[in-house]
Structure 1
């Protein structure tokens, strides 16, 4: 693992060493220019806002996640070596604007953060597992479509699906709307609006008229969303726990 000083010099920020921390607020990584939560490397000086995803700071010779790109030889770059040509991440299907891994053999590019996504994890208290897949059989909880470039997370029974791109976009939307501020998200109405933005057709306000089956269905969707957000953006923080606890009780 590189020292903090080496990370610092490589990234063109030689003034101060970067410090490992868990950010309690969302941020935009100065390396890949992507949205992030949680674990990061940040300049400790108050007047300097330089911050990196952990994956952008502690970069590897080759990304750990190559399940879908077995023939690729990825190399890290601070910027697109092909110049002004637009590059798209093959995992989230969103534009690459900063740090990236690029294959030297085939036409594949990855955000450093996307390259570290877990390929599989489990729903708690259930035999259901969630897999990263190229294709899905059910509609995405956000866009209600089966077709979108990039990869998706899918439950083992195939009933719950979410495009990685849609989740990243939805979380960024929630941040821009102010829903990821602790004082805002503590309000039940704002909490519900934030969750509805993540799954418009599946998250509704709880009422006395809802059947136990409907409540259980919503609860599983919320748990699924919580795990996805945690997988893509890092471990749950106070902010995320507050967002999801309303429907978990």
Structure 2
């Protein structure tokens, strides 16, 4: 059953499910969100769907020995970060006795994404570089979670996709339909870029590679941000058409 109106203990007014036309800060986890959220009609209060309706306890297959509990404020040290995306824990969190922390949205990420000939799997142990940052690690000693294609050619950190969308929204790329974001990502793969000056066959391979990489990126954006706003959806369409 899908709820469209709820009460929440963190807020005095009823919250209604709607689509935000602009990016918003979730008042639960304190992260920026796009698309559907529960929002207050009387004041500027918003919650991700995942933050608005968390489970009291949860399990994740990446942490087979952990029983996660939901907290509005993480117990223990304030210097903590989410294991999946590396972001600082500033609000709602799932935490286990082994002190692993998961963002409510990361907890519910789909394990498998499929679309237009691309199949991606969520992984916490990626062996090759992210196409956005060009590294296996988000930061020194920390890999985070990634989506990787079955063929092994396309992979993106969840954190990199989040940062990518936010960075390019701030730069106005969503407003004018530029495909700069896609171009910046793809040139990270040096082996592919080196082929661009080659034969017609090489250029066709490059074109196919870029198209499939864009499909992969589109699937991940939708998984991370949910049903995108009109602005983000338009941008995703521009990725696939370029």
- Short-chain TM bin: 0.7 to 0.9
- The answer to whether residue 168 in structure 2 is matched with residue 174 in structure 1 is yes
Native 8 Å contact 2:83 2:101 kept in 1:
yes
Q: CA RMSD in A?
A: 2.5
Give the equivalent residue in structure 1 for 2:211.
219
Q: TM-score, normalised by structure 1?
A: 0.82
Which of the residues 76, 88, 93 maps onto 2:86? 93
Distance 1:114 1:25 in 2: 21
Give the equivalent residue in structure 1 for 2:125.
135
- The answer to whether residue 54 in structure 2 is matched with residue 59 in structure 1 is yes
Distance 1:3 1:213 in 2: 46
Structure 2 spans left out of the alignment, 5+ residues: 194-199
- Quote the offset at 1:218 in angstroms: 1.3
Native 8 Å contact 2:6 2:16 kept in 1:
no
* Aligned ranges 1:97-136 → 2 under 5 Å: 97-103=90-96, 105-124=97-116, 126=117, 128-136=118-126
- Quote the offset at 1:44 in angstroms: 1.4
- Quote the offset at 1:102 in angstroms: 0.9
More strand by share: 2
Native 8 Å contact 1:154 1:160 kept in 2:
yes
The superposition leaves residues 70-95 of structure 1 with CA deviations (integer Å, 9 ceiling, x where unpaired) of: 2111111111221x531111111221
- The answer to whether residue 179 in structure 2 is matched with residue 192 in structure 1 is yes
- The answer to whether residue 232 in structure 2 is matched with residue 240 in structure 1 is yes
Q: TM-score, normalised by structure 2?
A: 0.84
- The answer to whether residue 38 in structure 2 is matched with residue 32 in structure 1 is no
- SS at 1:153 equivalent: strand
Native 8 Å contact 1:40 1:51 kept in 2:
yes
Distance 1:51 1:169 in 2: 20
- Quote the offset at 1:228 in angstroms: 0.5
Instruction: Indicate the structure whose relative CO is greater, using CA pairs within 8 Å and at least 6 residues apart.
Output: 2
Structure 1 spans left out of the alignment, 5+ residues: none
Native 8 Å contact 2:173 2:179 kept in 1:
no
